[in-house]
């Protein structure tokens, strides 16, 4: 008599799992392009945080709302004199520049920074790269038409891309100081996506979606292509240990455009470099301010 095994048929289980995987993939293809993409868009482009919502206004700073065609943004201003505009990057905020702004105010400049849409205290709307460029245009146009004494732009991270892609009429003849610039937006975007810690299938689907539109919507915005026209008036500050943006990209650009100056810092990473002593001294020099009596500190004094 033939014995019947009581063990499960693993070959059948394999077939079952294969069918399940195919079913899951088809369901993802069906539903992900809708509500899930919208959810991921919100997670990426509206990175508001509790820290940004509780930013305190430093002594001597003015806080005001600037109306743009796409929404209201929060702006900060201090000092009197030629105006320097600061443009923060993805996930950052105007508050990152407060120490530099205070220092420039003591040197006789007006310093102005703003929160992009979806950041800080600005209106909660998606701050895509295209939107950040549009907002930067609005701010520069505001300064040009009200103060008419714009002398320099300071950018950090993807804020550097926004500056380089702003309307040339608003940027020409200005000194540019770019801190930890992003030269490879495609890679930077995908790193941000992975950090959301979503299911691998969702990450892959969204990444494929981005890759399909990158060539038509983002490639032309990459920093190197647009910064080339301003190479002779630009200083780049980059930390050698920056994990968000490789210093090799900045080095390569400066080798291609030798009139662009490169400041290399150590042990300050992608964010702390903003308010480092090295950046402060280089920024003053780029603005042709040689008075050494102004002492810089990364600390700010609040009301």
pLDDT, tens digit, for every residue of 105-121?
Answer: 999 999 999 999 999 99
Which parts of the chain register pLDDT below 70? 1-35, 48-54, 299-303
Tell me how crowded residue 129 is: count the other CB atoms within 10 A of its CB: 20
pLDDT for 12 equals 52
Query: Would you kindly state where each structural domain of the chain is located, as residue ranges?
Result: 41-184+222-286
Residue 87, beta-bridge partner list: 114, 155
Is the CATH number 3.40.50.1820 carried by domain 41-184+222-286?
Answer: yes
pLDDT for 52 equals 52
**CA atoms within a 13 Å half-sphere pointing along the CA-CB vector of 52:** 23
Contact of 107 with 291, CB cutoff 8 Å? yes
pLDDT for 49 equals 55
Structure tokens given for 28: 């993802």
Output b/e per residue, 40-76; b: 16+ Cβ within 10 A. beeebbebbeeebeebeebeebeeeebebeebebbbb
pLDDT for 2 equals 46
What is the Cα–Cα distance from 245 to 66, expressed in whole angstroms?
31
Q: Where are the beta strands (DSSP E) in the chain?
A: 62-68, 71-78, 83-87, 110-114, 150-156, 175-179, 234-239, 261-265
pTM, two decimals, is 0.86
pLDDT in tens, 9-61: 545 544 544 444 444 444 544 555 566 888 898 899 887 654 455 678 899 99
What is the Cα–Cα distance from 242 to 251, expressed in whole angstroms?
13
Sign of CA dihedral 125, 134, 163, 189: positive
């Amino acid at each position: 008599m033939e014995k019947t095994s009581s063990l499960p048929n693993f070959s059948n289980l394999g077939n079952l799992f294969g069918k399940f995987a195919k079913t899951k993939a088809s369901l993802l293809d069906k539903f992900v392009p809708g509500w899930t993409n919208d959810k991921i868009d919100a997670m990426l482009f509206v990175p508001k945080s509790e820290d940004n919502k509780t930013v305190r206004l430093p002594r001597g700073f003015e806080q005001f709302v600037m109306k743009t065609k796409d929404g209201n943004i929060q702006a900060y201003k201090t000092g009197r004199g030629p105006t320097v505009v600061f443009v923060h990057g993805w996930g950052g905020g105007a508050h990152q520049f407060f120490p530099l702004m205070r220092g420039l105010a003591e040197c006789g400049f007006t310093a102005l920074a703003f929160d992009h849409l979806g950041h800080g205290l600005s209106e909660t709307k998606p701050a895509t790269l295209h939107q950040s460029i549009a907002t930067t245009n609005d701010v520069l146009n505001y300064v040009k038409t009200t103060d008419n004494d714009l002398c320099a732009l300071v950018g950090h991270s993807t804020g550097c891309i926004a500056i380089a892609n702003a309307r040339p009429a608003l940027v020409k003849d200005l000194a540019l100081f770019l801190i930890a610039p992003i030269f490879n937006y495609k890679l930077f975007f995908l790193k941000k996506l992975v950090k959301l810690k979503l299911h691998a299938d969702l990450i892959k689907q969204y990444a494929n979606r981005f890759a399909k539109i990158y060539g038509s919507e983002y490639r032309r915005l990459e920093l190197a292509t647009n910064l080339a026209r301003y190479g002779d008036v630009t200083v780049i500050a980059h930390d050698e240990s920056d994990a968000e943006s490789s210093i090799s990209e900045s080095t390569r650009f400066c080798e291609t455009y030798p009139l662009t100056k490169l400041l290399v810092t150590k042990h300050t990473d992608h964010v702390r470099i903003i308010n480092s002593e090295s950046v402060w001294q280089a920024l003053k020099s780029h603005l042709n301010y040689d008075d050494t009596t102004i002492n810089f500190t990364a600390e700010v004094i609040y009301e």
